[in-house]
Amino acid sequence: MTGNITFYLTSDDSSDLVINVNGTNNELQLSGCCTTVNATWSNFVAGQAYPINVYFTEVGGLAQWKLEYSYAGVSQTVIPCLLYTSDAADDSLRV
C-alpha cells in the first residue's frame, strides 16, 4: 500500500507506538485506561518494511494491548500478535 495509513492503539494502562517512515519517527501515545487513540501518517511505500517500536505499561488488573490499521479501501484491521517479536530480556514476554 503506498500512501497514508491510519494506526489505532488500544491499551490499559498506557502505551507508546513509534513507527519510522523514511527516516522520520512518528509517535502515538496513549495514557489512561481502556481508550483508543489514532493517527494517520503519510509517505508509506508498498513492499517496504518499517520499524515499529511499542512500549506498554501495566499498572494492575487485566492487561490489554491492541494495534490496528486502516487505509483507503481497507477498514480498521487488527495486526495479529503472531507478527510481533520482542527484544525483551525475558523471552516469556515474547509475543
- Sheet hosting strand 24-31, strand order edge to edge: 24-31, 14-21, 52-57
Percent of the chain past pLDDT 70, that is, above it, reads 88
Stated pTM of the model: 0.80
Cα dist. 87→13, 32, 61 in Å? 21, 25, 24
d(CA 51, CA 90): 21
User: For the chain, what is the mean pLDDT?
Assistant: 83
pLDDT value at residue 92 = 44
d(CA 37, CA 65): 12
d(CA 93, CA 86): 7
